[in-house]
Amino acid sequence: MMNPGIRTRIFVSVLLFSCASVIAADVFIENSMVPFLDTEGVAALRRALLIWTIAAVCAAAAASWLIARWVSRPFHSLGSSLAETHDRLREERDLLQGVLNGMREGVLLVGSDDRVRVANPALRDMLLLSADVAGKPVHEVIKDVTFLVVFERAKAGEVNLMSEIDVGDLKPRHLLVNAAPLPDACGGVLAVFVDMTAMRRLETVRRDFVANVSHELRTPVASIRSAAETLRDAVGRDPEAALEFAAMIERNAERVTRLIDDLLDLSRIESREFALNLEAIEPGPAIDHVLKIYKSRAEERGIALRAEVPDGTPPAKADRRALEQVLCNLVENAIKYSPEGASVTVRADSAGGMIRISVQDTGPGIEARHIPRLFERFYRADAGRSREVGGTGLGLSIVKHLVEAMNGRVEVESVPGRGSAFSFSLPAA
């Protein structure tokens, strides 16, 4: 609609023109017509003039309405168009802002003046930037030389630019950067950052895993090959030596078999192919069952096995196979690494809705610097000693994965020279 002020001004203008005309006519009658007309004639003329004035006012009102209606049409259409355009632009702005805020990739838009126009939350998190980076020169925001070279090349018009950069001291990140120039009408450079830190870490783990497996297999395979060659020559000349080499082949073959079995177990657990059946399991009978398995092995080395499970200890929510494998790995390690005459004690107690089971030995203990890495694959606090007793380096990693799969947690306490205590906690049933 037309502005009421404009309509009023049109009406007042027409009205003033009409009034001015009436006043002028009245003055003309008063000065020029009075000598020629009598009193009644003058009155009649003035009545006619009043009627003309009223008609003029009505005509002014009608004219202002018609003019306002005619003039308001284009203004009304223009106002509606502007409102629709404003709403559409606001929706597009909100949609773009939502997309940028929801992206895991970092987005950086730099204007033709080399100042930051847009830096989305993902980029600010990657580079630990403040929220007020917009408007700052790009070389002050990102000081990595490799990125600045890519930025200058994109600014010069090169397309499909890609590079990897390492940034951050407090929060190190390995980033893949894709940069491209914007059209000439806009100017500037658009850069997208993809966080490759986790992928690079996985690649490192994979390389280390392959190297460790190769190393672990190389030693027993070399021993088997050497023993087989020697055995071939000793069969006829020295039967006793032949038996020794046959025993060596058997031991190393068992070592390879254990390694392969542990690798398969770990693979099944990590890929969730190891199906768990969580049920209420009494810790006492499970512990007694495992200690019976290792009783003869412990007696051969003069190691005492004990179980301490208070009466009334509630059952744990666990998978029976997984629980027994965890206990077997921990008890077997305790026996392997404890000297003759030592003792291994398995305890169970409950607290805070959790059942805590610990395997404590009186062996040599573990230095504090090794404890954070004990549950890593192939990590050994004493590599030589571990291979000597036939360890694969995967037992504790399997323990950790199985316990976590049963919604539990593992802990280690150790004092060099006084022994170690490996414990795990599971929810009470």
* Local confidence band at 315 (pLDDT 50, 70, 90 cut-offs): very high
**Which residue range forms the structural domain that includes residue 53?**
4-99
The CATH number of residue 378's host domain is: 3.30.565.10
- Distance in angstroms (rounded) separating the CA atoms of residues 160 and 296: 68
Residues 377 and 389 in one domain: yes
Domain count along the chain: 4
- 79-88, 142-151, 163-172: range with lowest mean pLDDT: 79-88
Residues 42 and 145 in one domain: no
Report whether 399 contacts 383 (CB < 8 A): no
Residues 110 and 184 in one domain: yes
Last residue of a domain, one of 45, 78, 99: 99
- Residues 94, 95, 99: CA angle, nearest 5 degrees: 115
Chain segment 249-300, per-residue pLDDT in tens: 877 787 777 777 777 777 777 766 677 889 999 999 999 999 999 999 899 9
Residue 417: count other Cβ atoms within 10 Å of its Cβ.
9
SS3 assignment for 320-346 = HHHHHHHHHHHHHHHHHHCCCCCEEEE
Length of the chain counted residue by residue: 429
Q: Is 151 helix (H, G, I), strand (E, B) or coil?
A: helix
Residues 78 and 159 in one domain: no
The CATH number of residue 263's host domain is: 1.10.287.130
- Distance in angstroms (rounded) separating the CA atoms of residues 332 and 396: 11
Please give the pLDDT value at position 251. 76
Residues 320 and 346 in one domain: yes
Last residue of a domain, one of 270, 297, 320: 270
Residues 112 and 206 in one domain: no
* Local confidence band at 57 (pLDDT 50, 70, 90 cut-offs): low
Q: How far is CA 365 from CA 283, 387, 413, in A?
A: 26, 17, 9
The CATH number of residue 116's host domain is: 3.30.450.20
Residues 306 and 403 in one domain: yes
* Local confidence band at 205 (pLDDT 50, 70, 90 cut-offs): confident
**DSSP line for 43-68:** HHHHHHHHHHHHHHHHHHHHHHHHHH
**Helical H segments across 184-319, by residue range:** 197-237, 239-270, 283-293, 295-300
Please give the pLDDT value at position 67. 65
Residues 212 and 292 in one domain: no
- Distance in angstroms (rounded) separating the CA atoms of residues 199 and 377: 19
